[in-house]
Chains A and B, each alone.
Chain A
Amino acid sequence: DSGVTQTPKHLITATGQRVTLRCSPRSGDLSVYWYQQSLDQGLQFLIQYYNGEERAKGNILERFSAQQFPDLHSELNLSSLELGDSALYFCASSVSHTGELFFGEGSRLTVL
């Protein structure tokens, strides 16, 4: 158990809809990262937050947004969903500057 909690584990929705994925980092970790893993693909970095502030942005679509709250949990919002958004979405957390990321078990999104 990495200590990172993601909900929901599975989500099935229709094109055009909006969903919110939630992540609770390990106790004490200030950084939260979101990664997307599509079928047979590697891990694509989406966005990073550190102590409530956006710190780095990767290949995140404009239809996607995220935030980190004062209690350090984070939410990834995906809107106007398309079939191609079907993927595993991982949240990871870290203690700043150590390099090691601790991943949750992911949220599997299926868009029909």
Chain B
Amino acid sequence: GENVEQHPSTLSVQEGDSAVIKCTYSDSASNYFPWYKQELGKGPQLIIDIRSNVGEKKDQRIAVTLNKTAKHFSLHITETQPEDSAVYFCAAPSNFGNEKLTFGTGTRLTIIP
């Protein structure tokens, strides 16, 4: 099955600075890599995803990069704002397909005003 490792487990950045969270995966057949954001008291919510036919995808202040050779992908948040404070999870599909995801252990991001 898929093994997903996520670093760092906690991250504090000054408001306005950038934040980067990294994940590695084990199954070279994986082709779909989502990132979920979990705010306090809520369920995780998809914020961005990338498929293996592209190396980078951007959505306003959020971007994800994928290196299939090295089997790692990263979340980049620029111009961080207090509302970016949350726990972020990366995920990769299992051999059951894209529907069954294996999640990383999460990164608690704190934006310091």
CB <8 Å contact, A42 and B99:
no
CB <8 Å contact, B105 and A100:
no
Q: Classify the secondary structure of B's interface with A.
A: strand
CB <8 Å contact, A45 and B101:
yes
13 further interface pairs, Cβ-Cβ under 8 Å (given A33-B99, A42-B106, A92-B43): A31-B99, A41-B105, A43-B103, A45-B103, A48-B100, A90-B44, A94-B99, A99-B34, A99-B99, A101-B44, A101-B99, A104-B43, A105-B43
Q: How far is the CB of B50 from chain A (nearest CB, A)?
A: 11
Q: How many cross-chain pairs have Cβ atoms below 8 Å apart between A and B? A: 65
- The size class of the interface chain A forms with chain B is 20 to 34
Q: Which of B49, B89, B97, B102 contacts A100 (CB 8 A)?
A: B49
B29 at the interface (CB under 8 A from A): no
- The size class of the interface chain B forms with chain A is 20 to 34
A4 at the interface (CB under 8 A from B): yes
Knowing A42-B106, A99-B49, A100-B46, say if A55 contacts B34 (CB, 8 Å): no
Q: Which of B41, B94, B99, B106 has the most CB of A within 10 A?
A: B99
Knowing A42-B89, A42-B104, A45-B102, say if A101 contacts B46 (CB, 8 Å): yes
CB <8 Å contact, B105 and A106:
no
Chain A residues, CB < 8 A from B41: 105
A97 at the interface (CB under 8 A from B): yes
Closest to A35 in B: B103
B98 at the interface (CB under 8 A from A): yes
Chain B residues, CB < 8 A from A17: none
CB <8 Å contact, B100 and A2:
no
CB <8 Å contact, A100 and B34:
yes
Chain B residues, CB < 8 A from A43: 44, 89, 103
Chain B positions 64-113 with a Cβ under 8 Å from a chain A Cβ? 89, 93-94, 96-106
Knowing A2-B45, A106-B43, say if A96 contacts B106 (CB, 8 Å): no
A56 at the interface (CB under 8 A from B): yes
CB <8 Å contact, A33 and B43:
no
Knowing A42-B104, A42-B105, say if A103 contacts B96 (CB, 8 Å): no
CB <8 Å contact, A90 and B43:
yes
